[in-house]
């Protein structure tokens, strides 16, 4: 069953004063998917706030939020095009250049 830990915590009704709760939080991701996470790009990447924030940022700045750097295996012509479409104002030339292409879309 998939759930968020805050839902589980709210659903636990302690009736004894000596009761305890133990939680082990584990996450899985493919080794190459550095950007998978909880509070970074994967969770916030679809918000209008992040779209506005991303405009004008460098690849290094965006990497702090889990966006894969240029040259990462994630990037293909299609994923760079999708990034450009999703984040208007983001200069994707570094990602295109890392693919061996030019900075212009095509």
Please write the tens of the pLDDT for every residue from 29-86.
777 776 666 554 556 778 888 889 999 999 999 988 888 899 999 999 999 999 999 9
C-alpha separations of 24 from 5, 19, 27, 89 in Å: 10, 17, 10, 41
Q: Are 97 and 103 in contact (CB under 8 A)?
A: yes
Domain membership of residue 26 (yes or no) is yes
Query: Total domain count for the chain?
Result: 1
pTM: 0.62
Q: Determine how many CB atoms are found less than 10 A away from the CB of residue 59.
A: 19
Closest CA to 40 of 66, 62, 61, 63: 66
Domain membership of residue 39 (yes or no) is yes
Segments forming the whole domain that contains residue 88: 5-9+20-98
Domain membership of residue 104 (yes or no) is no
Domain membership of residue 60 (yes or no) is yes
Domain membership of residue 61 (yes or no) is yes
């Amino acid at each position: 069953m998939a759930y968020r830990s805050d839902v589980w915590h709210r659903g636990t009704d302690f009736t004894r004063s000596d009761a305890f709760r133990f939680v082990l939080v584990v996450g899985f991701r493919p080794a190459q998917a550095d950007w998978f996470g909880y509070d970074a790009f994967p969770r916030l990447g679809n918000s209008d706030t992040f779209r506005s924030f991303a405009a004008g940022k460098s690849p290094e700045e965006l990497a702090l939020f889990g966006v894969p750097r240029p040259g990462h295996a994630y990037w293909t012509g299609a994923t760079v095009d999708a990034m450009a479409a999703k984040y208007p104002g983001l200069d994707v030339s570094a990602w295109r250049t890392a693919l061996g292409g030019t900075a212009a879309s095509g």
